[in-house]
Amino acid sequence: MGRRHFGTDGIRGRAGEDPITPAFAEKLGRALAGILGAPATRPVVAIGRDTRASGPALERALAEGITSAGGEVRLLGVLPTPGVAAIVAADGLAAGAVISASHNPAHDNGIKFFSGDGFKLPDAVEEAIEEGLERAAATGPARGGIMAATGAGARYVACALASLPPGFSLAGMKIAVDCANGAAWQTTPEALHQLGAEVTVFHAEPDGSNINLGCGSTEGHEISRLVRETGAQVGLAHDGDADRLLLCDETGDPLDGDELLAMAGLELLRRGELADQTIVATVMSNLGLNEAMENAGGRVVRTAVGDRYVLEAMRAGGFTLGGEQSGHMIFSRHATTGDGLVSALQIFRLMAETGRPLSELRRVLKKYPQAQRSLAVKAKPPLDELPAVQAATRAAEETLGARGRVLVRYSGTEPKLRILLEGPDAAVLEQHAELIADEVRAAIGA
């Protein structure tokens, strides 16, 4: 049957429009409970959310759907996505749900699920849930209970801090933090305060409509400005649900996920803690990452775009580190999903133990030039049905030859098309990226 609603990171769209409505969320809750064996097994599902105004109504509807089918619900309140995953796994619950649209604007929202082990659901289970939507029916008045859990934020902070050696301290480190007015507005500052860092917190006043608004990990200029203004040694920005991060060095220059992967991978390799001397990255990551790892005796395994695919490859190969250029990083010894706080702590540990600033540590990665575009589209027809786009893509591939690569793909979470070109000549890359983009705009541009 395939997945009609689920993308690479759950179900996402504009709140109040199908499928991001309370009515759909309730039906989704019933379908999830049925897959988990309700009512016979009375599965317990934890629900967390970010700070969007549409969150509470979706939370309530999802919970009512689960309980009407015979499941039980624990409401964790506002909590980063990795916090929900950690609590589900620690408490041995049947599943977890997160109501969030991550880095999307406040008018969007979404729903994604974790299995009882804290990992995202595989495609086959999401397909089964979609099939269950067609026959999901309430079994009468709410049969299960809804309980508001307390202390979820503190539990998540403790879990994140446990990823560091006993007695580790960030005393003397000055950190600027952009919480994106999102789910980490309390937890990340608290974790850093507990480690003794000097923390200056920004964008930690969520009002339901300001999540990711001019701030957060997709707005690198903001954390750059904050670092320069505060004189911080490092800047940290999250997205709305804090499963990713953006770090900025002391000069105000942001680092991308490839630089963080290279730094972390080489450090774990040096410590003998990198399983099979391998890190996992997506096809979007810079080819310089391969060179950096191979020169040190390691290697890179690549996957399709999406942290779910990175994690699947990590689990299949028993690897311990993976991530995306966007800032999703997975340290599998410490988390079951992308975790912006845990990832930041691992980089801060490297800074503290080496005494070197990020501006020096980042030099381990020598990146190939890239040209990227992210284009809004009105529809997502198969790319092979767009002859002008295909022709522009082939022309770029012929120009770059074996010394470069071209990737054109749709986003799995937004109505956008992504273009990536990589090769030795930045000017040539920009020229061909714009030629492809022009054809996309003419064919399906918003």
Q: For the sheet with 254-255, list strands across it.
A: 198-202, 174-178, 234-238, 245-248, 254-255
Distance separating alpha carbons of residues 169 and 213, to the nearest angstrom: 32
Based on the residue annotation, tell me whether 102 is a catalytic residue of this protein. Answer: yes
Long-range contacts of 349-358 (CB under 8 A, 24+ apart): 349/164, 349/165, 349/168, 350/263, 350/264, 350/267, 351/173, 351/233, 351/234, 352/168, 352/169, 352/170, 352/173, 357/233, 357/234, 357/249, 357/250, 358/234, 358/247, 358/248, 358/249, 358/250, 358/255
CA dist 152 and 420 (Å) reads 39
54, 68, 100, 102: the active-site residue: 102
Integer CA distances (angstroms), 69 to 19, 34, 37, 194, 288, in order: 20, 7, 10, 42, 51
φ/ψ (deg, to 5) at 17: -115, 145
| CA 36 – CA 273 distance, rounded (Å) | 36
> Which residues form the catalytic set?
102
